[in-house]
Amino acid sequence: MRIVDFHNHYYPPAYLDALRSGSSAVEVTIDLDGNPRIYYPGDYNIAVPGHRDIEYREQVLIQHGVDTQVLTLTTPGTHVETPAVAARFAALVNDAFARVVETKGGRFTALATLPLNDPAASVKELERACRDLGFRGAMLFSNVNGTGLDDARFWPLYEAADDLGAVLYIHPTNPLGVEAMTDFWLMPLVGFLMDTTLAAAKIVFHGIPERFPRIRWALCHLGGAIPYLAERLDRGFHAFRECREFIPRPPSEYLKQFYYDTVNFDTRALALAIAFAGVDHILAGSDYPHQIGSIPRMLESIRALDVSETDRAAILGGNAARLLFG
C-alpha cells in the first residue's frame, strides 16, 4: 500500500534564516537544545530537526514506511509580515519546496504558501507555483490577520484557483479571542479546531464552493468539528433565510465534497468522518513533526479502522495520489 502523509510541516532553512535576518515581524529564539522557537499569538512552534533538516526527515519516513509527504509551511505563515516581505518570503518558501521535490525523487511533493495579506500577490504566487513549480494547489490559513477566508478580497484568488482546478487546504491559525486560550495550550488544542470549523462554514454559507466549483477543498485535523456539526448547519439552512441567501442546497452537500485529513487519531472520530464524507474523501495525515503530531499514531489509527483493505489503501495514500497526481 502506498502511504502518503498529507498533513505535515517543513520550515526551509532559508526561511528560518529570513525570519532571523531582521526583516521579519516574527520573534525567534533558540531553546536549550539549539532548536528555533517561533512565536505567534497564543502558541509557539519548536523547529526540531524534522522541521528543518530534509535529510533527517527522509530517514524518518523510510523508518516508518511512508512513501510520500505533502510539504506545507505552518504557523505563523507569511501573512503576518508586511505585504512586500510576505510576498518575498512566500516565493522563497515555495522555491525551497520545489528544490526538495525535484531532488528527492518522489519522496516529497508540496502545496504552496501564499502571501495572503496581499490577495493580488497571492494570485500571482498561486499561478507561479502551479504553472512553473508544478504544485497542485496551496495551503490557506483559516483567517488572515483576523479576516475570514469568505471575505470578498479573496475571491480573485478563488477565481484563479478555480481556473487551475487547484487544491486549497485550510490549516488553522490563532483565532480571534486567542487571549482566552493562552493557558493549557488551549489555542492549538481547541482554538485551532474551532477556527477551521468556522472558516469552512463561512466559506460554504457564503457560496464560494457554489461559485467556484472546480476548487478541491481540504480541511486539517479531520475538519475540526465539521463532521460532528454538519447536521446543525443543515438545520440552520432550513430555519434561517440568511443561511439560504448564497446557496441553493444544504451546506452538508458541499462539505461532503471536501477532503478531511486524519489528524485526529481516535478511530471513532475517523469513523464519523468516513460516514459523513465517504472513505474516498479521507486523507492520511500525521502533523509531523509537531509535538502533538505522530506518524506512528497516524498509521496505527488507520490500520485499526473497521474498513476493507481496499478502503484502507485509499485512506493511506490512494485518495491523496488521486487528488494530487491524478
Residue 120: count of CB within 10 angstroms of its CB = 13
Q: Are 14 and 2 in contact (CB under 8 A)?
A: no
Distances (CA, A) of 91 to 52, 85, 88, 294: 17, 10, 5, 29
Tell me phi and psi for residue 246, to 5 degrees.
-115, -5
User: What was the pLDDT predicted at 124?
Assistant: 98
Report the CATH number of the 4-325 domain: 3.20.20.140
Sequential DSSP letters for 192-229? HHHHHHHHHHHHHHTTHHHH-TT-EEEESGGGTTHHHH
End-to-end CA distance of the chain: 17
Closest CA to 140 of 151, 26, 131: 151
User: What was the pLDDT predicted at 326?
Assistant: 77
Domain boundaries, the chain: 4-325
Give the model confidence (pLDDT) of 55-104 as tens digits: 999 999 999 999 999 999 999 999 999 999 999 999 999 999 999 999 99
Strand partners, 169: 139, 218
DSSP state of 289: T
Over its C-alpha atoms, the chain yields an Rg (Å, rounded) of 19
User: What was the pLDDT predicted at 40?
Assistant: 87
C-alpha to C-alpha distance for 55 and 64, rounded to whole angstroms: 15
User: What was the pLDDT predicted at 158?
Assistant: 98
Low-confidence stretches of the chain (pLDDT < 70) are: none
The model's pTM is: 0.96
Residue 300: count of CB within 10 angstroms of its CB = 12
State the cell numbers at 121: 500577490
Q: Are 140 and 133 in contact (CB under 8 A)?
A: no
Tell me phi and psi for residue 260, to 5 degrees.
-130, 125
Is the Cα dihedral 3, 134, 123, 167 positive or negative?
negative
C-alpha to C-alpha distance for 193 and 172, rounded to whole angstroms: 7
Closest CA to 96 of 70, 133, 132: 133
User: What was the pLDDT predicted at 253?
Assistant: 98
Give the model confidence (pLDDT) of 149-178 as tens digits: 999 999 999 999 999 999 999 999 999 899
